Structure 1
């Protein structure tokens, strides 16, 4: 049984998120997803998520390809999360390319290409640009 682990904010869930999760599961048999806490999200992006942590967890937990969900509190704890969930593969978007190579002593690390022209930031910008029209 091959366990794949990935982490992210997963705010304003969109097709890019779904494709990443499906591609991650295709590498193994189980998919464990860490959802970034509100504090961690603010530290990473200097902005608050639109959806609450509980809502984001509920969304991710309801995705058919997801086996288990946990709260990711700290970027520096990836090593502990991999050990705790007995992950064989760690997957993350290629916007993080090279940043997690130090984990290769624990598991394989895969950087998946992002879905072109789809991002939460772009979705928020489109919503803001149409406000008041």
Structure 2
């Protein structure tokens, strides 16, 4: 029996319930889940938010997630593409909001679009923290 290797990636800043739901769905559809951890999305995409947490903090948090088998940090979209080309991956997990959009490495692997049937997001969490802080 062949081990199905899955891959997903992101900055995973302010790890929240939505991340966990997505990682659980990914792991339920593969035998071995690799997570690419982007060090800072603003390096080559200025429209993105800079992470609040260090890559070290985010790495430690991801290590505690039982659905993840391996974590590989990467810097740029080019280093992500290099990683995707060099790693034996059977299934790439991408959020369903990317169904009709381009993304790095599209076409390299079979794609599984993960569900966004929840209201959790990093932006929502940031806003809640900011609102809570300003109400003090």
TM-score (norm 2): 0.84
Write the distance in 2 (CA, Å) between the matches of 1:29 and 1:22. Answer: 12
Is 1:125 the counterpart of 2:114 in the alignment? no
Aligned to 1:96: 98
Q: 1:102 to 1:11 in 2, by over 3 A?
A: closer
Residue 130 of structure 1 and its aligned partner are, at CA, apart by 1.8
TM-score (norm 1): 0.86
Instruction: Encode CA deviations 1:20-74: one digit per residue, 9 max, x unaligned.
Output: 1111111110000001112x24626432211111111111122111111011222
From 105, 111, 114, the counterpart of 1:112: 114
Name structure 2 gaps, 5 residues minimum: none
Residue 117 of structure 1 and its aligned partner are, at CA, apart by 1.4
From 20, 29, 32, the counterpart of 1:18: 20
Q: 1:45 to 1:68 in 2, by over 3 A?
A: farther
Q: 1:110 to 1:117 in 2, by over 3 A?
A: same
From 1, 8, 23, the counterpart of 1:6: 8
| Count of residues paired in the alignment | 131
Write the distance in 1 (CA, Å) between the matches of 2:122 and 2:23. Answer: 16
Residue 121 of structure 1 and its aligned partner are, at CA, apart by 0.4
